[in-house]
Amino acid sequence: MYRGAGANGSLGRMRRRITGYHRDEEHHCVAELDCGHNQHVRHNPPWVSRPWVTTEEGRAGMLGTELDCRKCDRGEAADRGAPDARPPVPGGERR
Ligand SMILES: [Zn+2]
């Protein structure tokens, strides 16, 4: 995987606040950030240690906390907040 040239720290990182949560189709916890992006917040030890995501109290306590938003770093479009982006097609799915 590509990594930056020794950049170790917050340089170039977008810090975004957690405004809420939801579950994805696989019941993983997804944090909703104030930039409009979603970010998975798994507790998957030993690789990812986020014991706070496993409890409602923990998640509530992390509201307002800032996470690095890699989607902002990459300039990706927001995951939500654009209701006109994909209007529903009357009469079913079409390509
Ligand atoms: Zn973002």
Q: Is position 88 within any domain?
A: no
**pLDDT, tens only, 46-60:** 999 999 999 999 999
Query: What is the pTM for the complete model shown?
Result: 0.70
Q: Is position 8 within any domain?
A: no
- 80 pLDDT band (50/70/90 cuts)? confident
Residue 92 Cα to ligand 1 midpoint, Å, equals 31
Domain limits for position 47: 15-73
Q: Is position 89 within any domain?
A: no
Rounded to 10 degrees, what is the CA torsion of 21, 22, 23, 25? -140
Q: Is position 22 within any domain?
A: yes
As for how many domains the chain has, the answer is 1
Q: Is position 49 within any domain?
A: yes
Rg (CA), the chain: 16
Residue 91 Cα to ligand 1 midpoint, Å, equals 33
Q: Which residue has the higher pLDDT, 86 or 42?
A: 42
Q: Is position 94 within any domain?
A: no
Q: Is position 43 within any domain?
A: yes
Residue 64 Cα to ligand 1 midpoint, Å, equals 14
Residue 44 Cα to ligand 1 midpoint, Å, equals 22
